[in-house]
Chains A and B, each alone.
Chain A
Amino acid sequence: MSRDFYKSSILPYAGIIIKICRAYTDTEEDFEDYYQEVCLQIWKSKDRFQDQSEWSTWVYRLTLNVCLTLMRKSKKQKSYESNELSPGDQKEENAQAISDESLNQLYAAIRELSEIDRAVILLYLEEKSYQEIAQIMGTNPNNIGVRIKRIKERLKKKLDGKVN
């Protein structure tokens, strides 16, 4: 991968890639793997990008797909290695990655959502329009608003009154 490609086509979107990868990983080590895999897949798939959508939309979609694929693989792997690291250890490791306690709690609550709900709320928090979210998720924009409302309710419950 060339440095130029990384700087011009990936780095401007590193923020959202990082945010998405964090929502799908439990440990700092996994987070780094996911981030690197996303970068690699963007580089490998760049020739398949067509101008039917924005580059940023394509990057979001690819990031989500890579994270979902890796998470499913990792679930299988973890069930094999379940005795090696307890879930408690993993959460503690992850909590050390971000110093902001409220953000950590929010991430923990987001990680408890379903894979698709996680993607929807992340895009919503990134201030994407319902239209864009629907385009990235390949769904109908009419459903997005209702879904976001439901997800926010669930997050509030999980955060147990720490948010309004």
Chain B
Amino acid sequence: MEKSIEQIWKEGFLKQEALIAPKVNELYNRKSIHLVEKFQRMFKINIWGIIIGASLILIASLGAGAGLAGLIIFITLLAVAYSAKLDSDGLKQLDKGQSSFEYLSSFREWIQQSIEKYGSLYRIVYPVFILTFYFGLWFSDLLEPIREKVAENSSNLIFGMHVPTTLLIIGGAIAMGYFAKRIHREDVELMYGKVLGKLNEALAEMEELRTTK
């Protein structure tokens, strides 16, 4: 005999198993794993971004006749990408079997260590990048006409380079090296700010859940 929608609904729920509530003690399990996985995906995209960017710089520098500078930047960025890849593999080793709170705490610790590590690394990478770019571009085939013009019109030269401009660039490179950690923190905030905000929020909630009786 055919039943009405209302009958199916009522009779279906008379059976107890249809209304068994899931346990609420593992509230954050999948949420935590999703959060870390989202970060991993973004991190992976970032690594590929560095590799692609480095390759484009190499190609452009070869085109501009500054192959050596391009190669130095390419190798430097590739080293950064490789180091990030190794770190990313380390992130996969985080024990998913521990509690969500411990899991996310380990993840936050990993991020903080990573920010610290790359902040230090960029103290070298930023100046190398800027100086190599400047010297490479200056001595490239592309800038040969400008180089000749500067040589004709200025007496303030060192190795064929305009001294005030060169000092300005070196000063800028040193400043970038000095502020590398702060710049990197801002960079991380810009790229992963949303995920990190969620991470802190989740940890704060978990902390509250753990302490509320």
Give the docked Cα–Cα distance between A39 and B6 (Å).
27
In-complex Cβ contact of B13 among A33, A37, A103 (8 A): A103
In the complex, which residues of chain B have a beta carbon less than 8 angstroms from the beta carbon of A100?
11-12, 15, 18
The answer on a CB contact under 8 Å between B18 and A156 is no
The answer on a CB contact under 8 Å between B27 and A36 is yes
Q: How large is the interface on B (under 10, 10 to 19, 20 to 34, 35 or more residues)?
A: 20 to 34
**Binary per-residue interface labels of chain A (15-40) against chain B in the complex, 1 for a CB within 8 Å, 0 otherwise:** 10111000000000101110111011
In the complex, which residues of chain B have a beta carbon less than 8 angstroms from the beta carbon of A35?
21-22, 24
Q: How large is the interface on A (under 10, 10 to 19, 20 to 34, 35 or more residues)?
A: 35 or more
User: Counting CB contacts under 8 A, is B17 at the interface?
Assistant: yes
In the assembled complex, how far is the CB of residue A4 from the closest CB belonging to chain B, in whole angstroms?
A: 9
The answer on a CB contact under 8 Å between A11 and B21 is yes
**Binary per-residue interface labels of chain A (36-78) against chain B in the complex, 1 for a CB within 8 Å, 0 otherwise:** 1101100010000000000000000000000000000000010
User: Counting CB contacts under 8 A, is A91 at the interface?
Assistant: no
Give the docked Cα–Cα distance between A119 and B4 (Å).
19
User: Counting CB contacts under 8 A, is A155 at the interface?
Assistant: yes
The answer on a CB contact under 8 Å between A2 and B212 is yes
In the complex, which residues of chain A have a beta carbon less than 8 angstroms from the beta carbon of B2?
161-164
User: Counting CB contacts under 8 A, is A6 at the interface?
Assistant: yes
In-complex Cβ contact of B209 among A1, A18, A155 (8 A): A1
User: Counting CB contacts under 8 A, is B149 at the interface?
Assistant: no
Given contacts A36-B26, A103-B8, A103-B13, contact A18 B19 (CB under 8 A): yes
Give the docked Cα–Cα distance between A77 and B26 (Å).
21
Within 8 A of A (CB), among B29-62: 30-31, 34
Q: Quick one: which of A15, A29, A103, A161 has the most chain B CB within 10 A?
A: A103
A-B contact pairs, 21 of them (CB 8 A): A1-B24, A1-B209, A1-B212, A18-B18, A18-B21, A33-B30, A36-B24, A36-B26, A36-B27, A40-B24, A40-B205, A100-B15, A100-B18, A103-B8, A103-B13, A105-B8, A152-B5, A156-B5, A159-B5, A163-B2, A163-B5
